[in-house]
Amino acid sequence: MNPLLSQFGITAETGEHPVHSPIDGAQIGSVAYDSAAAIESKIAATTDAFRIWREVPAPRRGELVRLLGEELRTHKQALGRLVTIENGKILQEGLGEVQEMIDICDFAVGLSRQLYGLTIASERPGHRMMEQWHPAGPVAVISAFNFPVAVWAWNAALALVCGNPVIWKPSEKTPLAALATQSLFERAAKIFHGAPAGLSQILLGARDTGEALARDPRIPVVSATGSTAMGRALAPVVAARFGRAILELGGNNAMIVCPSAKLDLALRAILFAAVGTAGQRCTTLRRLFVHDSVHDRLVEALKSAYANLSIGDPLADGTLVGPLIDAHAFGQMQSALAAAREEGGQIAGGGRALTEQFPRAHYVKPAIVEMPGQTAIVRRETFAPILYVMRTHDFDDALARHNEVAQGLSSCIFTQDMQEAERFLAASGSDCGIANVNIGPSGAEIGGAFGGEKETGGGRESGSDSWKAYMRRQTATINYSDALPLAQGITFA
């Protein structure tokens, strides 16, 4: 590990909290958590940085993000490899995560010249109304292990061009990738000349560290990615001080396969979405609704494809499924499968794999579970490669069951019927934040806003106009006349 980490100027052994690789369960480093005094000092520094950074013109702020993107390009291979070692996703996905960071930097650089307001017609003569956007203030980012660096970039690139400092609490399971990313930011800031101290900082710690960020009134925006349970605990804390929470929480994502679907296309989409990252994506496919007329054919093809999946070391060429993050994740998967069996499910796969080669790691065979209906366990998200398959009789039946769950992140339909596709995307169709036709629920591009509804939290990150969440809106009226007319024709004299 040290040769890899040395490329970022960091070392593996710095504290008392061990870091393990899910690849083989071995300890790869240790980190020190920030004390309460250190947390206070860093939040104070972030507040000081805001006073300086908000005065820097947005296109100039964009130049810093451009330089960060260049550092990421230069170190894409090394950072992608570190993500894989610490997180367990296959190397192609580790590299893809870094590419997402590069892409959002490119997006944010262009955005830095497009933070547009509005000119609004005034009802009063000699007056002009306008709407403008100002930096909101320091932004806290609380990220999860499954995308240990990309989620920070989605938030940080936008927050920085919008004029805000960023303070980041990464997952306790993936601190080394976060430290490496911070090192690349510091290199970019050094080349930039003029970035204030405290513009980007990391807080290492457990739940109490995230709680400190959620409570602090000096941080007006808290972006948090994690479970619905985490969001349910954090959101009221932020709301109690009238802060703004950007929540990216659970996703119990589904696909509907219609009679006219191209089954070879659907099969490929199912595989990537259901087993990629070992089922540990926010957008992992977890529920599959298949029409009676194509059900048996598709399920048979799926079982054959699952039987031939390459499970193993995620750094090795050809591997498609790496390990679960830890023993807890494995236990959760086994509990879910036991519940599915009790509720009438027929299970193929799901057992532990490669125990002789990796006795301290938790590799599994992705599971296909044919369910008699959408039971309690199907409605509950399990962060593991479990695909629940259910028969449907018609489009209306499939859509109703698709929308029955509490989560609302990503969704998709496979059909060649234009009416079905359009109905799926209509106001009465999918109730998710992401709805796709003839592509799976995973692999979102940064150009679109990423996020979901219901218990997914309602937050939006990345593209489109997500930048507005990092700014405050101001309506301004200018009177350039010699009179003082009142709105609504009010006379006050």
Burial class (CB in 10 A: 0-12, 13-18, 19+), 334: middle
The single residue of 105, 162, 258, 282 carrying the catalytic annotation is 282
pLDDT tens figures, 265-312:
999 999 999 999 999 999 999 999 999 999 999 999 999 999 999 999
Percent of the chain topping pLDDT 70 = 100
User: Does position 155 have pLDDT exceeding 90, yes or no?
Assistant: yes
Output Rg (C-alpha) for the chain, integer angstroms. Answer: 24
Token pair of 64 as six digits: 């810093």
Token pair of 254 as six digits: 């589904």
- DSSP line for 140-190: EEE--SSSTTHHHHHHHHHHHHTT--EEEE--TT-HHHHHHHHHHHHHHHH
Q: Provide the pLDDT for residue 13.
A: 85
**In which band, very low, low, confident or very high, does the pLDDT at 56 lie, cut at 50, 70 and 90?**
very high
Report the alpha-carbon distance of residue 342 to residue 451 in Å, rounded.
Answer: 33
Q: Provide the pLDDT for residue 197.
A: 97
Q: Provide the pLDDT for residue 362.
A: 98
Report the alpha-carbon distance of residue 130 to residue 52 in Å, rounded.
Answer: 25
User: Does position 2 have pLDDT exceeding 90, yes or no?
Assistant: no
**In which band, very low, low, confident or very high, does the pLDDT at 493 lie, cut at 50, 70 and 90?**
confident
Q: Provide the pLDDT for residue 412.
A: 98
Where do we find the tokens 């507040």? Answer: 47
Q: Provide the pLDDT for residue 1.
A: 82
Where do we find the tokens 């300086």? Answer: 52
* Known catalytic residue at 412: no
Report the alpha-carbon distance of residue 388 to residue 57 in Å, rounded.
Answer: 51
* Segment 218-228 mean pLDDT: 97
Report the alpha-carbon distance of residue 150 to residue 128 in Å, rounded.
Answer: 42
**Residue 198, SS3?**
coil
User: Does position 27 have pLDDT exceeding 90, yes or no?
Assistant: yes
Stretch among 8-17, 144-153, 224-233 having the lowest mean pLDDT:
8-17
The identity of residue 109, as a single letter, is V
Burial class (CB in 10 A: 0-12, 13-18, 19+), 118: exposed
User: Does position 443 have pLDDT exceeding 90, yes or no?
Assistant: no
**CA–CA distance from 187 to each of 80, 144, 168, 315, 474 (Å)?**
18, 24, 17, 27, 35
* Segment 24-52 mean pLDDT: 98
The single residue of 71, 93, 100, 248 carrying the catalytic annotation is 248
- DSSP line for 24-89: T--EEEEEPPPPHHHHHHHHHHHHHHHHHHTTS-HHHHHHHHHHHHHHHHHTHHHHHHHHHHHH--
**In which band, very low, low, confident or very high, does the pLDDT at 93 lie, cut at 50, 70 and 90?**
very high
* Known catalytic residue at 282: yes
CA angle (227, 216, 157) in 5-degree steps = 65
- Tell me which DSSP letter residue 139 carries: E
User: Does position 14 have pLDDT exceeding 90, yes or no?
Assistant: no
User: Does position 239 have pLDDT exceeding 90, yes or no?
Assistant: yes
* Segment 160-187 mean pLDDT: 98
* Segment 120-126 mean pLDDT: 96
Length of the chain: 493
